[in-house]
Amino acid sequence: MVQHKPFVCPVCGTSKIESEQEYVARSPMFSGKKLVKCFSCGTKSMFPPEVEESYYITDYWTKENIERRTGGQYAQALARYMFAEEFISARKNLNVLDVGAGLGFFAKVLNDKYTGIFSYDAVEINPAAVGYLLTHIDSGHVLSDLPGGEVKYDMILLFHILEHIAEPAGFLAKVSDLLKPDGCLLVELPNEDWRYKKFNQPHVVYYNTKTLSMLLDRHGYAVSKVKECGSKVSGMANELRLASGVAGFADKLRALYYTIEKRLIPIENVYDLYGSDRQWIRLLARKKQKAL
């Protein structure tokens, strides 16, 4: 029988569980898990938190996923760029590390919008994504893991990464070593998507604005800007409740929901809908300055 480490909250570090429920999985790789709520800070996370790396190599980006998702990827990357534009445009030279770069659309936006000189290194392990990513890179490297620290970066991108990290403390410490003292993190992740997703997988931790800010503060980062953006969580949750019990209908209704929204709102703005209870959290954070 496999022995697992006792539960430790990935955000606040306490070990007391307030409640638990079934972790709803599509893949057998995630079966037998629980979705537990921390008694202290309320963060929900998967337990036990271990996920086989092969999931991200073979399942997360497939040829079908790439073909289905490329349409809105540029608009989403542009919205992220605009969110951080004040920081980016203040620099004549920009050294960027994109962790879990996916298809590399942020590099394409930099090529189109940034007027200075930039280099772009990407960390990506999925072969299907790497093939597409390489078409967007003019200056930089594609890596299979975080670099060793010889190069320091002005900006490190963590788009839909932290929700997959079971032990974020060690990961954020490595990231901090790669960031220049005046550099920043640009983070985006789902906003407590256990509330509206049909399946909990593949996420390990479910953040909201409060718990994400708490995590970063605890590990040496000061949040300088944060927004909730995208579609309303309550709208998606209501849509799924209405569709519950009708086989296959929830996915079709969700697709219709996004189609209508995108027809009403220009594509370049659809990812920057702001307000409470939104689908994603987008955040800028700087390293805290150490006292002399």
| Residue range 101-146, pLDDT digits in tens | 988 899 999 999 999 999 999 998 888 788 878 887 777 788 989 9
pLDDT tens column, 134-156: 887 777 788 989 998 889 999 99
Looking only at the bridges linking them, the beta strands covering 93-99 and 117-123 are parallel
Prediction pTM value: 0.85
Which domains are present in the chain? 52-287 (3.40.50.150)
pLDDT tens column, 149-191: 889 999 999 999 999 999 999 999 999 999 999 999 999 999 9
Question: Which segment of 16-20, 199-203, 236-240, 241-245 scores lowest on mean pLDDT?
Answer: 241-245
* Residue-level pLDDT at 235: 75
Q: What proportion of the chain, given as a percentage, has pLDDT over 90? A: 53
* Residue-level pLDDT at 134: 83
CA distance 235 to 238: 5
Q: Residue 214: is its pLDDT beyond 90?
A: yes
Phi/psi at 73 (5° precision): -65, -40
* Residue-level pLDDT at 123: 94
* Residue-level pLDDT at 262: 52
* Residue-level pLDDT at 51: 79
pLDDT tens column, 2-35: 567 899 999 999 999 999 999 998 888 888 899 9
- Could you give the residue ranges of the DSSP H alpha helices within the chain? 54, 63-83, 85-89, 105-113, 127-133, 168-178, 209-218, 233-243, 249-264
- Whether the CB-CB separation of 38 and 207 falls below 8 Å is answered with no
As a whole number, the mean pLDDT across the chain is 84
pLDDT tens column, 59-76: 555 555 555 555 578 888
pLDDT band of 215, cuts 50, 70, 90: very high
The residues, any chain, with a CB within 8 Å of residue 126's CB and separated by 6 or more, are 56, 57, 58, 60, 61
Q: Residue 1: is its pLDDT beyond 50?
A: no
Q: Residue 58: is its pLDDT beyond 70?
A: no
* Residue-level pLDDT at 195: 84
Phi/psi at 98 (5° precision): -110, 105
Q: Which tokens is 99 given?
A: 């962790």
